[in-house]
């Protein structure tokens, strides 16, 4: 079945450093979504990308969708402690429109 | 406008008991999804429902687990004869449609089986 892999699984950075997580699919995606889950919390929608090569920005966060629509990335510039959490990519798959989540990247930020 | 509501937030059950988890979607949302998350792991899709219909239950174990979304009232995920391996966080999400729609998650129910 559809698999969505993310790397790295875990990253520890110092505040102010940049961070990037990558999402890769074995098949072409119609769109991709990104979610953030704080420790002990629930996933919260961040953004959706639809077009090939699309780039969207939200303050210090930059999201990209690959030209072949098989991969995506999330880049955070100058991380802050509030960025701590796990970032998931997700894509709708299957005939019943099931949202498949990536394996997630856990970000730890220290002062 | 209330978000997705789940109750209880925490549930403790002994092995062999039944667990009932409830989810009220956001107002106007008719699509409900259930996910399971083990500690330090990702979200695993369990089941997708619309009002009175199970659309996709491919992620749900065939035994002991069932889900419903009646015409009136919340969606319910039912786990019979719980075992220790059922201990996890169970999240419900809702959306107004499929494919291009974001999902809104509830706070989750943390199930502990002793």
pLDDT digits (tens, 9 = 90+) for A20-36: 999 999 899 989 999 99
> Do A101 and B33 count as a contact with CB atoms less than 8 A apart?
no
Q: Does B53 touch chain A (CB under 8 A)?
A: no
Sheet holding A4-7, edge to edge: A4-7, A19-25, A71-76, A61-65, A55-58
Give how far the C-alpha of residue B101 lies from the chain's centroid of Cα atoms, to the nearest Å.
Answer: 19
Q: If 0-12 CB within 10 Å is exposed, 13-18 middle and 19+ buried, where does residue B103 land?
A: buried
- Which among A33, A50, A88 has CB closest to B42? A88
Helix (H, G, I), strand (E, B) or coil at B58: coil
- Which among B58, B59, B91 has CB closest to A42? B91
What is the helix (H) or strand (E) element at residue A99, kind and residue range?
strand A98-101
Which chain A residues are Cβ-neighbours of B104 within 8 angstroms? Answer: 45
Across the strands, what pairs with B68?
Answer: B76
pLDDT, mean of residues B21-48: 93
Give the ranges where B8-79 is alpha helix by DSSP (H). none
Search chain B and give the residue with CA nearest A92.
B99
Across the strands, what pairs with A36?
Answer: A44, A87
Search chain A and give the residue with CA nearest B59.
A98
Q: How many other CB atoms are found less than 10 A from the CB of residue A50?
A: 14
pLDDT in tens, A55-99: 999 999 999 999 999 999 999 999 999 999 999 999 987 665 678
Task: State how far the Cα of A89 lies from the Cα of A93, in Å rounded to an integer.
Answer: 13
Q: If 0-12 CB within 10 Å is exposed, 13-18 middle and 19+ buried, where does residue A92 land?
A: buried
The reported pLDDT for the residue numbered A1 is 61
Task: State how far the Cα of B9 lies from the Cα of B90, in Å rounded to an integer.
Answer: 10
pLDDT in tens, B52-84: 899 999 999 999 999 999 999 999 999 999 999
Please, what sign has the CA dihedral across residues B64, B67, B73, B74? positive
């Amino acid at each position: 079945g559809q698999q969505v892999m993310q790397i790295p699984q875990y990253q520890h950075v110092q505040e102010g450093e940049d961070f990037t997580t990558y999402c890769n699919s074995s098949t072409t995606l119609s769109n991709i979504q990104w979610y953030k889950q704080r420790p002990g919390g629930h996933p919260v929608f961040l953004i959706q990308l639809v077009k090939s090569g699309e780039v969207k920005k939200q303050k210090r966060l930059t999201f990209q969708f690959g030209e072949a629509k098989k991969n995506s990335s999330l880049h955070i510039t100058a991380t802050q402690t509030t960025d701590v959490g796990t970032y998931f990519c997700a894509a709708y798959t299957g005939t019943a429109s099931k949202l498949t989540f990536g394996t997630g990247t856990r970000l730890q930020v220290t002062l | 406008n209330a978000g997705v509501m789940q109750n209880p937030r925490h549930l403790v059950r002994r092995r062999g008991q039944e667990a009932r988890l409830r989810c009220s979607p956001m107002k106007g949302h008719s699509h409900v999804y259930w996910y399971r998350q083990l500690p330090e792991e990702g979200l695993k899709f369990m089941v997708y429902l619309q009002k009175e219909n199970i659309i996709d239950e491919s992620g749900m174990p065939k035994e002991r687990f069932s889900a419903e979304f009646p015409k009136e009232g919340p969606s319910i995920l039912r786990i019979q004869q719980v075992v220790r391996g059922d201990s996890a966080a169970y999240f419900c999400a809702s959306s107004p449609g499929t494919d291009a729609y974001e999902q809104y998650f509830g706070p989750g129910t943390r199930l502990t089986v002793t």
